[in-house]
Amino acid sequence: MTTYSLVCDSCGRNFDAARPDAVTCGPTCRQRRYREGLAANVVKAATELLHRQTRTVIAFTSTDDDLERARLRRELDAIAAEAADRWPAAA
């Protein structure tokens, strides 16, 4: 049987695989890689929301237009509501 000498994407160790497209050396590393992927997605979503909030605050403090400020205040409320919806424990 052909085996492929690969490097585990999770722990970095060399391992022999039956398939050339194997990514991890075993179930423990596969599970860790999956969890790390989920955590990375949470960080990415939180970072995007924080950037949106920062841009909105900057726009709010940069305008004297009352209508625009009211719109931006609603946007900030929507951002806060989205954060509370996604991460209730942090609200």
Residues engaged in binding Zn ion (CB under 5 A): 8, 10-11, 25, 29
Distance CA(9)–CA(71), nearest Å, equals: 46
User: What's the rounded Cα separation, in Å, for the pair 42 and 74?
Assistant: 24
Nearer to Zn ion, 33 or 71 (CB): 33
- Kindly tell me which of 2 and 14 has the beta carbon lying closer to Zn ion: 14
CB 56 within 8 A of CB 76: yes
CB of residue 7 to Zn ion, shortest distance in Å:
9
Q: How far is the CB of 19 from Zn ion (least distance, A)?
A: 15
> Are 60 and 74 a contacting pair, CB within 8 Å?
no
CB of 18 to Zn ion, least distance (A): 15
Is the distance from CB of 91 to CB of 84 less than 8 angstroms?
A: yes
